[in-house]
């Protein structure tokens, strides 16, 4: 006696289980892909925003330093012929400090470093000889300077900006200088101090010795920062953006820009966690838009499972009652249902394809040539098939580099690759947005020009040929190309055959002297202008 299995599952339940798992995995994959794309977009946007922001602030600091030097230069000119008039020096120091908010303090010192006048006078520096790094550097170089941060005799951490005092006879009398206090309210705080945010974003400024001259944490001013790739880059005068872990171990998105006049660098950065804080809301929006479709799909799955199980139950019922009249008709009716089953399956696939289309929008079929960035053969075939289906006329321009083997033999394959990349750039410059540019392999290229007459296509080819001939490509020098032009449906009946017609025209261009354009069907080839 055959024993019945202890566990049996209904076909409808099995179909529901498998379909539900498949739909859940598809939905999860779609959400994950959407999350990945949006996360990278948020990071890229934050990096670009910080780069632009740092550039803007660097320009502001640059403008301030140039303005400060101009103010000091003007004052130096005012007192140059009367440097011994201490009353004039005192008045000019007071005017220079109070007229603008550029400096926290101003002083005049002679060529020995003795202070002749100060503003404010509460500094009590008049008549004293100063040996601070800023004063000594300015006296030594006798030219406009912006000092490194140092601790002055007054106890202030400052940056000293100076200008020499030289009279019309060329005699050097000393200097006029202004101080910017780094740990007190100053022009730097006015330019930069309003840019600290609760989300952890902030900016800082370093000088060319890697010392902090501005930071939202005043305790860090004057510290020397090491092991920071962002600071390394900005002190090489390289503006840009990077993702970096700061000294506190926080993952940051940094944009940076140099201040050329002083050799400083401005860095604006934002925590990665802050930049991605909006991602949860974005994903909720995606989920809310996906759930209705998922709910519809689940209903379709349940209904389809019921439809699949029902005729099988009918078959089983017919088998149990084979002695009844009309059983054969019932079985034939069930058999005819299988055509309907295929139709229902197609309906389910339509629903599944809706989800796949959402996923497909996040992925792009790889159809470009990796060396030049142009379309490859797959992209070419897709365009040809589409335009033929639309009955859309187009022209094909086949081209390749003359004597390309000699380029590789003489200059090497790396130089040959550079030639192909440069040729691709020139093709783009001679094409429209709707044109399709392809590299078929080696030095062979094709341009597909939709809605273009043969004469216009020939003009495009001539323009490209002339541009290539005029362009010097290092280290190869100047190269030439030969081109063949054909148009569908004028020259061939099938869209795919237009490439062969263009190739034949290219062949005639090659064998009639190269560096020329030949139009399919021409009796005489048109020579290129040399």
Per residue of the chain (530 residues), give pLDDT as tens: 455 454 566 666 777 777 778 777 877 787 788 778 888 888 888 889 889 988 998 888 888 888 999 999 999 999 999 998 999 999 999 999 998 888 999 999 999 999 999 999 877 888 899 888 989 999 999 999 998 888 877 777 888 999 999 999 999 999 999 998 888 877 777 777 655 556 778 888 888 888 888 888 878 888 888 888 888 888 888 899 999 888 778 888 999 999 888 888 899 888 888 888 777 777 777 777 777 877 787 787 777 667 666 665 666 666 565 656 565 566 555 654 444 444 434 333 333 334 334 444 333 456 889 999 999 988 898 888 888 888 899 999 999 999 999 999 999 999 999 999 999 999 999 999 999 999 998 899 999 999 999 999 999 999 999 999 999 998 999 999 999 999 988 877 777 788 999 999 999 999 999 999 999 887 444 444 33
348 and 385 in a common domain: no
439 lies in some domain: yes
Give the residue from 84, 144, 80 showing the smallest Cα distance to 114: 84
Q: Residue 325: its pLDDT value, please?
A: 57
DSSP, collapsed to helix, strand or coil, labels residue 284 as helix
95 lies in some domain: no
132 lies in some domain: no
385 and 476 in a common domain: yes
d(CA 63, CA 110): 28
d(CA 204, CA 227): 16
Q: What is the CATH number of the domain that holds 490?
A: 3.30.70.270
CB contact set of 18 (below 8 Å; sequence gap of 6+): none
329 and 392 in a common domain: no
Tokens of 512: 């009639």
> Domain residues for 490?
377-519
Give how many domains the chain has, as a whole number. Answer: 2
Q: What is the full DSSP assignment across 472-498?
A: EETTTEE--EEEEEEEETTT-SSTTHH
Q: N- to C-terminal Cα distance for the chain?
A: 98
Radius of gyration of the chain (CA): 38
515 and 406 in a common domain: yes
d(CA 119, CA 371): 65
Report the alpha-carbon angle 475-480-486, nearest 5: 140
285 lies in some domain: yes
DSSP, collapsed to helix, strand or coil, labels residue 23 as helix
468 and 388 in a common domain: yes
d(CA 378, CA 356): 21
509 and 383 in a common domain: yes
For tokens 């100053």, what's the residue?
A: 186
Residue where a domain terminates, one of 316, 332, 361: 361
Tokens of 116: 């002749």
Cβ contacts of 258-262, under 8 Å, gap ≥ 24 = 258/58, 258/234, 259/58, 259/61, 259/62, 259/65, 259/205, 260/62, 261/62, 261/65, 261/66, 261/69, 261/146, 262/61, 262/65, 262/146, 262/207, 262/208
Q: Residue 350: its pLDDT value, please?
A: 35
Residue where a domain terminates, one of 361, 389, 411: 361
446 lies in some domain: yes
439 and 348 in a common domain: no
123 lies in some domain: no
429 and 401 in a common domain: yes
Distance of CA 304 to the CA centre of its chain: 47
DSSP run (H or E) holding 106: strand 105-110
506 and 395 in a common domain: yes
d(CA 436, CA 367): 12
387 and 347 in a common domain: no
103 lies in some domain: no
Burial letters 264-291, b for 16+ CB under 10 A, else e:
bbbbbbbbbebbbeeeeebeeeeeeebe
- Pairing, β 394-401 against β 264-271: unpaired
d(CA 343, CA 432): 44
d(CA 187, CA 180): 7
Q: Residue 516: its pLDDT value, please?
A: 95
d(CA 331, CA 337): 10
- What torsion do the CA atoms of 84, 86, 89, 91 make, to the nearest 10 degrees? -150
477 and 419 in a common domain: yes
Q: Residue 15: its pLDDT value, please?
A: 72
Tokens of 34: 């959407």
């Amino acid at each position: 006696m055959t024993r019945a299995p202890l566990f049996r599952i209904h076909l409808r339940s099995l179909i529901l289980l498998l379909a539900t798992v498949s739909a859940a995995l598809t939905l999860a994959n779609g959400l994950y892909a959407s999350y990945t794309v949006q996360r990278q977009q948020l990071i890229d946007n934050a990096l670009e925003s910080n780069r632009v922001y740092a550039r803007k602030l660097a320009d502001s600091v640059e403008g301030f330093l140039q303005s400060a030097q101009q103010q000091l230069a003007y004052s130096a000119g005012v007192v140059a012929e009367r440097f011994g008039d201490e009353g004039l020096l005192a008045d000019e120091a007071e005017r220079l400090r109070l007229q603008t908010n550029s400096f926290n303090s101003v002083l005049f010192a002679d060529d020995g470093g003795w202070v002749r006048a100060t503003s404010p006078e509460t500094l009590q520096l008049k008549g004293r000889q100063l040996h601070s790094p800023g004063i000594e550097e300015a006296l030594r170089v006798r030219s406009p300077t912006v000092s490194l941060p140092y601790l002055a005799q007054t106890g202030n951490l400052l940056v000293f900006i100076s200008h020499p005092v030289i009279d019309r006879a060329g005699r050097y009398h000393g200097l006029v200088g202004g101080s910017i206090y780094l740990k007190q309210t100053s022009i730097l705080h006015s330019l930069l101090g309003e840019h600290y945010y609760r989300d952890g974003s902030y900016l800082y400024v370093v000088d060319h010795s890697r010392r902090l001259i501005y930071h939202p944490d005043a305790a860090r001013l004057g510290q020397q920062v090491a092991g920071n790739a962002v600071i390394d880059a900005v002190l090489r005068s390289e503006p840009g953006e990077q993702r970096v872990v700061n000294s506190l171990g926080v993952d940051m998105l940094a944009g940076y820009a140099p201040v050329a006049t002083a050799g400083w660098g401005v860095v604006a950065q934002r925590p990665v966690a802050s930049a991605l804080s909006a991602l949860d809301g974005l994903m909720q929006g995606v989920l809310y838009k996906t759930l209705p479709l998922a709910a519809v799909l689940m209903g379709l799955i349940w209904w389809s499972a019921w439809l699949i199980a029902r005729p099988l139950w009918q078959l089983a019922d017919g088998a149990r009652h084979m002695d009844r009249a009309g059983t054969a008709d019932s079985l034939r009716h069930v058999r005819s249902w299988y055509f309907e089953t295929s139709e229902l399956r197609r309906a389910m696939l339509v629903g599944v394809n809706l989800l796949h289309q959402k996923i497909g929008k996040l992925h792009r079929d790889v159809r470009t040539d990796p060396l030049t960035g142009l379309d490859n053969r797959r992209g070419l075939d897709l365009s040809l098939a589409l335009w033929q289906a639309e009955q859309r006329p187009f022209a094909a321009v086949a081209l390749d580099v003359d004597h390309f083997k000699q380029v590789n033999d003489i200059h090497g394959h790396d130089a040959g690759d550079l030639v192909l990349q440069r040729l691709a750039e020139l093709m783009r410059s001679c094409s429209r947005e709707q044109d399709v540019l392809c590299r078929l392999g080696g030095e062979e290229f094709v341009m597909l020009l939709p809605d273009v007459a043969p004469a216009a296509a020939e003009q495009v080819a001539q323009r490209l040929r002339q541009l290539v001939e005029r362009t010097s490509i290092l280290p190869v020098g100047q190269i030439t190309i030969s081109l063949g032009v054909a148009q569908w449906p004028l020259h061939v009946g099938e869209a795919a055959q237009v490439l062969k017609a263009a190739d034949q025209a290219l062949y005639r261009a090659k064998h009639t002297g190269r560096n020329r354009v030949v139009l399919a069907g021409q009796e005489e080839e048109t020579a290129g202008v040399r």
